[in-house]
A and B are shown apart, each in its own frame.
Chain A
Amino acid sequence: MATEHINRRTFLKATALAAAAAMVQACAPAEPTSAPAPTKAPAAPTNTSAPAATATPEKMTFKEAPMLADLVKAGKLPPVEQRLPPSPQVLTPLTEVGTYGGTLRTAINNVNSLFGDPQAVIGTELVLRIDKDFSTIIGGLFESWEFNSNATEQVLHLRKGLRWSDGEPFTTQDCLFDYIDCKGNKELSPAGPSSAWKVGKAMTPMTMEAPDDYTLKLGFAEPYPLITLRQCFYSGCQYGGMFAPKHYGKQFHPAYADAAALDKLVKDNKFETWMQLMGAKMLVGSTIPAAVGLPGMTAFIRTADDPDHHTYERNPYYWKVDTSGQQLPYWDKVIVYIIADKELLTTRLVSGELDLIGHSAYLKNMELYQKSLDAQKLKIYMWKSTLPSAVLIYPQHTCKDKELREFFQKKDVRVALSISMNRDEINDVVHFGLGEVRQWAMWPDSAYYRPGDESHYVEYDPKQANELLDKAGYDKKDAEGYRLLPSGKRLGWLIEYDPEQGDIPPTLELCIQYWKAIGIELTIKPLNRSLLNERFNANDLIMTTWQGDISDIVWPQNPRAVICGLSNHTWARAWEAWLWTKDRFPDIEEEPPQWLKDQFDDWMAFQVELNADKRMEIARKIWDRYYEELPCFGTVAIPQPVVMKANITNFPEMGAWGYSCIRAVPVNPETFFFKS
């Protein structure tokens, strides 16, 4: 790339535009003849999915990696045909069939957060999985499923012949072990199973039965058609409630283990209780089995665990092959360094010591990455992020200050706050012009998107903003030009935010100017995340922010900002307490306005609606009310640079990256390889 002949910004813009173009193409419906958009909504409940894998051709001969062939020769491992299921899943590599070998090096900031790049290179194995369109649901460990007519029962069919990474067979007994023996054990899981496996407002846990080794039956107190979304998301991973290696976990569980032996095991490992021992030995971090010795179903299994790195090696019993019959994965090893300092991580990337970084790659470092492209043989793919707004700003509609609460509850005021923000400038200054100015709304390829959603109150118009505030009754000003509240106090407030999300501070710095121009004094204050959370719970915040993460998989589980409540996308503590946890916080809760009650009721109806079209209609009503009311506002949508060695092959040029879609999982990391 001839970077020298064009200036940096033009070049970056060009890259982004190219990415955007690719994005649009990727988003376009695959074939015009396919079903209309709404039915593309994930998991129509009555659907029985077709298995995702191509059936194994009759006479495929299987091949294995040299490192495994050596072990077979030495008699330490059975031959590949015996390790694979009778008909293993066949994956068609994106561009070409790969060659074995190589070590992939990546890094994380925080030892417990494997959801960054480890997911992107190791992949993960879930009950069901998201397809390459990042929306449709297909088979995972279970190849198909069906619901009864009112979706109060789901029957799942396990792939036959699967084996854990230590060679033991994987059966529905492993499912019962996790759900009943582990998540149902009051000592081990005081909180019970995760909310994914609880149904309705009463949060009744589902029931689980195993009619045979390959059939699993789940029962729900109320219709639960959307459970498939949970099964292909975080809760659907090992030890998430639906499966865990029983043959291995038994030795730590008092229901199975001999009391004296277990006691000794606890002591030898320097723990105090069996729960702690079990927690450590069965640990799964962000969908990836994360303890040495713990069997898993993923392509790579952790083999070493040091303070500064984790090492993963290929799973000899991995159950997928490529079209030429080679057992996957291609890479021998994955090393995940733990590098707490983000700048150090960047340094190691541009000095060629890391092979793939996405989670910790930032737009602000684009120039640096570009400079190292040739020297370190890197390439950059501009992926779409799951952030259709990098920052969402939440005025607290029910804050304790009576005057400010009255102020925020006026729609004109919220519109004024939104249109007084110069988003083009935010894009240029904070995101180097690589973002896209739009309101927080679904990306255009979403099943929940309708053209125009992104343009609500997004046009920069400080003049109109001033008029709106004047009309709303805040027309008196003090000597410095700030507006006055009815009590004569200056109109202004404190915004408290989590500084770990890097785009927030510079965006807020700009907001200080924008809102000063309409007579409002904004003060900003970074706050530790857990403290921020406590202050929110006590309804002590006036305004806060969070990144605008969303996807088709996540939204039906968690409405984010569309209805306040659940997670950190929140803008009215008192109403939220009334809606979601009625009578639990009597000091705080207050009855919300009618429109929000309607949102909540529709949300509940959406959860149990069986007909996909009708469900889409309800979703549309919910989104429309949200756009109309504008309870909070977004800034700029951003792409996600993914920086990697130029010879990494089969990595798609375009995809969706973010918490909301488990990183690159849908694109099959087990087929990535270094092309020599």
Chain B
Amino acid sequence: MRGYILRRVLQSIPILIGISIVAFLIIQLPPGDYLTVYASNLRSQGEFIGDEELEALKAQYALDKPVYMQYIRWITNFLQGNMGQSFYWNKPVSSLIGERIALSMVVSILTLIVTYGIAIPVGIYSSIKQYTWSDHVITLIAFIGVGLPSFLVALIVMYLGVKYFNLGAGGLFSADYLDAPWSFARVIDMLKHMWLPVIVIGISGTAGTIRVMRATTLDELSKPYVEAARARGLSELKAVLKYPVRVALNPILSTIGWMLPTIVSGETLVSLVLGLPTTGPLLYRALITQDMFLAASFILILSSLTVLGTLISDILLAWMDPRIRFGGAE
């Protein structure tokens, strides 16, 4: 087990280096850089920026150096915990991400809890009751959930909320609690606003997980060892939960690591539609304005989290499933 983990950790190092290079290069791909965006904004206000000034600015931001030099400068700083400056926001990248990450994580983790809390039991129930009317209803709802794009759900839910329930549209706090210090009332106010994004973001994940859970449990239910367990007189509930469900959780565990980047980035599209102050829209804006260091640092963080998440998934799987563990040790 230890050798397995060590090997997986070592493997991820070259992957991370590769990712950091790609992340930086991607930002350089579109024509121009932040300064051309800046110059065009100045121009639309009737300000001229001369060549010499542009050169001076380029030198100040080190944009006049070759790309590999810029990369080395950025990555050495990054490794020392300095993610560089955002041109657009005029702020350090770390504080920009920092001030949004807590909220992103609260929304994402709540969504995860709701998703698994609903999806796993419902999936199991649906598989046990295969082809009954309740299974059909669940299946129908799940397919709709998988099929609807979440931004559309966000729009519909918001419309219904505003039109019929007199709910606020978007945001996480009402005006009274916006700048208030944390208190019980403020938490309640936040929860009042929070359920909407949680439901919207959770719907497709819940629906998908229900389907996966149902399918994998069904695979297992027909296997001889379940028959054997039943034959030995185990209660139906125990016979299902103790063995087939444990195996059926495999695909979910193997993807749980992928949730890690999602927890940090949140759902970009939904956040944009609902106006949530999470990190997703920050990345979106950074890409549009060619805000180099913000975008590159962000992409690198998300990619690293994906690598880390996969690692965690692998370890979890090895722990859950001896076949993988021993396969790896040989």
A residues apposed to B, CB below 8 Å = 103, 105, 111-112, 186-187, 190-192, 194-195, 234, 269-272, 275-276, 279-280, 283, 303-304, 306-309, 311, 335, 337-341, 343-344, 347-348, 350-351, 353, 528-534, 554, 557-558, 566-568, 580, 584, 659
Contact = CB atoms under 8 A, between A and B. Distances in A.
A194 B46 CA distance: 11
A272 B85 contact: yes
Contacts of B49: 191
A375 B217 CA distance: 52
A190 B54 CA distance: 8
Contact of A276 (B41, B88, B90): B90
Interface string B8-35: 0000000000000000000000011000
Given A340-B281, A347-B158, A307 B100 contact: yes
A351 B171 contact: no
Contacts of A192: 53
Nearest to A353: B168
A370 B186 CA distance: 34
Contacts of B255: none
A280 B49 CA distance: 21
Given A276-B85, A306-B277, A269 B92 contact: yes
A351 B158 CA distance: 11
A340 B57 contact: no
Given A529-B40, A530-B37, A533-B39, A347 B175 contact: no
B262 interface: no
Nearest to B93: A270
A351 B163 CA distance: 8
Contacts of B88: 112
25 contacts: A105-B175, A186-B56, A191-B56, A269-B92, A270-B92, A270-B95, A272-B84, A275-B60, A276-B85, A280-B91, A306-B99, A307-B277, A308-B275, A309-B178, A348-B170, A351-B169, A353-B175, A530-B39, A530-B41, A530-B290, A531-B31, A534-B32, A534-B36, A568-B44, A659-B45
B272 interface: yes
A531 B45 contact: no
A190 B277 contact: no
A530 B285 CA distance: 14
Given A190-B60, A270-B95, A335 B175 contact: yes
Nearest to A349: B169
Contacts of B288: 528
Nearest to B289: A530
A283 B88 CA distance: 12
Nearest to B281: A340
Nearest to B40: A533
Contact of B50 (A191, A341, A566): A191
B72 interface: no
A276 B82 CA distance: 14
Given A234-B45, A348-B169, A566-B48, A531 B57 contact: no
Given A340-B281, A344-B273, A190 B56 contact: yes
A406 to B, nearest CB: 28
Nearest to B98: A270
Contacts of B51: 584
Given A270-B95, A304-B178, A531-B32, 17 more contacts: A187-B60, A191-B57, A271-B92, A308-B171, A341-B272, A344-B170, A344-B273, A344-B274, A344-B275, A347-B170, A348-B168, A350-B162, A529-B44, A534-B32, A567-B45, A567-B46, A568-B44
Given A271-B85, A340-B281, A557 B275 contact: no
> Which among A191, A554, A568 has the highest number of chain B CB atoms within 10 Å?
A191
Given A272-B82, A306-B99, A339 B43 contact: no
Contacts of A191: 49-50, 53, 56-57
Nearest to B85: A276
Contacts of A339: 170, 275
Interface string B38-80: 0111011111111101001100100000000000000000000
A308 B168 contact: no
A616 to B, nearest CB: 22
A137 B84 CA distance: 44
A121 B90 CA distance: 25
B276 interface: yes
B94 interface: yes
